[in-house]
Amino acid sequence: MPIVRNSFIQMSKLPNVKGRISYISSKARQENLYAVYETTDRKFWKELAKCNQEEFRESGTKGNCIEARELIIALPESFVDYEPGKLLKLFTEHFKQNYGVECISALHHNKRKTNYHIHLIFSERKLLDEPVEKIATRNMFYDENGKHVRTKKEILDEVGQLRSGCKIIPKGEVYERNLFTIKDGRFKSDSFLDVVKRSYTDLINIYVKDDKQKLKVFDRNGVYLPTKKIGKNNPKAEQIKTDNQYRTMWNQTVDRALISGVPEGQILEVKQSEIGHKVKASIQKSGRNPALLKSLIMTAIYALELLIGKVFKMASQKADKGIETVIKAEPEQTPVKAIKSFVKVKSEPVPEMPKKSALASKYPRLVDIYKKLEKQNAAIFERERQLANVEKELAGAKGIFKAKQRKELQEQAEQLKTQIANMKQYLSSIVQGYGYKNVKEFLAEFKASKAEYADYQSAVAKWEQQTGNKAEADSMKARLQRKQQEVKERENSRQSHRRRKDKGGR
């Protein structure tokens, strides 16, 4: 099974659109520039920047003026086979047709030629069919900052001369000329980037030749947290790296919860209540706080671990009472209905033996993967139980005569924490070794495969009852083929992982 990859599309605000255009479209400044495409002339961007700066100045808003926005769209490496100019035009016109704004784009490779991507700059304003001009009904006075003042005295110096930078627009002349509409509010909405990602992901998948390169959009409303890409020379690289470590810890805990049998709905509730809602409230109150996010994620992890412990405890109690909680039978152990006495009617044709669907055929292999996940999850839970006992003993080791014991217990606790962290990382990597993106994706196919395999077994039992024949058990040859397929998938996955690690920054 190919690893399903998430599409990468990010958006940034541009305080200097002319400078950015010059940078992405200059062959002197871009080592691997393949094409540039423009929907309008460069004069448009000059006037756009002027319009935005004037409006920003008049508003008195602090910070940087946003003159335009930019999308960076990552492309599959196989797209180098397409003619660059036509490919760039397709992606640029796709955006213009959807939003009706002017664009300029450039198609690049990074220095090591591992990231093929598009820079697409777009305007938040549209050009008016006819400029809107305002005529001065009296003399208009403007200070050095371009701000309109009421009287002439406010722009004169001590000797009554016009100060440098100030200006007077006489009555009857144009004092304001608008070439553009107001900014389109859609580009500021939280949903805009998600819509663009889905639109471009669908477009990319149309032109992908190999199904292994098909992309999907990360589900931000799902149980996992997205990790952020660290671009080249990013000043916040260390902060993002630390942030990603905590997000990965949450995702690993989600994998454990799903394997343990915690309902997906409960996991989502923990994520929303402990992370989503609290982060949103914090941003509204005091802005973004990376340090707070870490503590919120850790609190959510503790909450999820409580649910995991509860499930393990319930399973243990049921096992003690002799109640089997989950049936995990091998294909050979699947119960088959007893064959009743059968009298063959010569006039009726013998029905053909049922055939396994492709999904049902995967079930024996998926059972093996599921068992590995369960075994690793149980081992992690046991280590966590040991850690809890050590920490409890450490808390009771007080006094100067127990200093040596405390030191030994602290070392033991640290060793267990390291083991647990490594075991959690390995747990999530098990399914990735078989080509799945995460445990959720694996379990979805496992459950579907299990259902189809049960339907197949039921159909075989019915066929045996009707015909009096006995279905052949899974052959040794078929088992060998499954093992060979597993080895092949793991090797392909390792090669894919090495290629991803080799990719450089955009």
**Burial group, residue 87, by CB count within 10 angstroms (0-12, 13-18, 19+):** buried
Q: What are phi and psi of 458, to 5 degrees?
A: -65, -40
**Closest residue by Cα to residue 226 from 183, 289, 160, 271:** 271
Instruction: For residue range 382-430, list pLDDT tens digits in order.
Output: 998 899 898 888 888 887 777 888 888 899 999 999 999 999 989 888 9
Please name which of 271, 273, 276, 238 lies closest in space to residue 257, comparing C-alpha atoms: 271
Q: Are 129 and 22 in contact (CB under 8 A)?
A: no
One digit per residue, the tens of pLDDT, for the chain of length 506 reads 344 567 889 999 999 999 999 999 999 999 899 999 999 999 999 999 999 998 898 787 888 999 999 999 999 988 999 999 999 999 999 999 999 999 999 999 988 888 899 999 999 999 888 877 777 888 989 888 878 888 998 989 888 899 988 998 898 887 777 889 999 999 998 789 989 999 999 999 999 887 767 787 777 778 898 887 776 667 778 888 888 899 999 999 999 999 999 998 899 999 989 888 888 888 778 777 777 888 899 999 999 989 998 888 888 777 767 644 444 444 444 444 443 444 444 455 667 788 888 888 889 999 999 999 999 999 998 998 899 898 888 888 887 777 888 888 899 999 999 999 999 989 888 988 887 888 988 898 899 989 888 988 888 888 888 887 777 665 555 556 666 666 666 665 555 545 544 444 34
Query: Phi and psi dihedrals of 128, rounded to 5?
Result: -70, 150
Backbone angles phi, psi at 121, to 5 degrees: -95, 135
Which residue shows structure tokens 């409230």? 281
3-state secondary structure string, 384-402? HHHHHHHHHHHHHCCCHHH
Kindly state the helix (H) or strand (E) to which residue 278 belongs, with its residue range: helix 277-286
Query: CA-CA distance, 362 to 1, in Å (whole number)?
Result: 11
3-state secondary structure 307-365: HHHHHHHHHHHHHHCCCCCCCCCCHHHCCCCCCCCCCCCCCCCCCCCCCCCHHHHCHHH
User: pTM surpassing 0.85?
Assistant: no
CA distance 417 to 400: 26
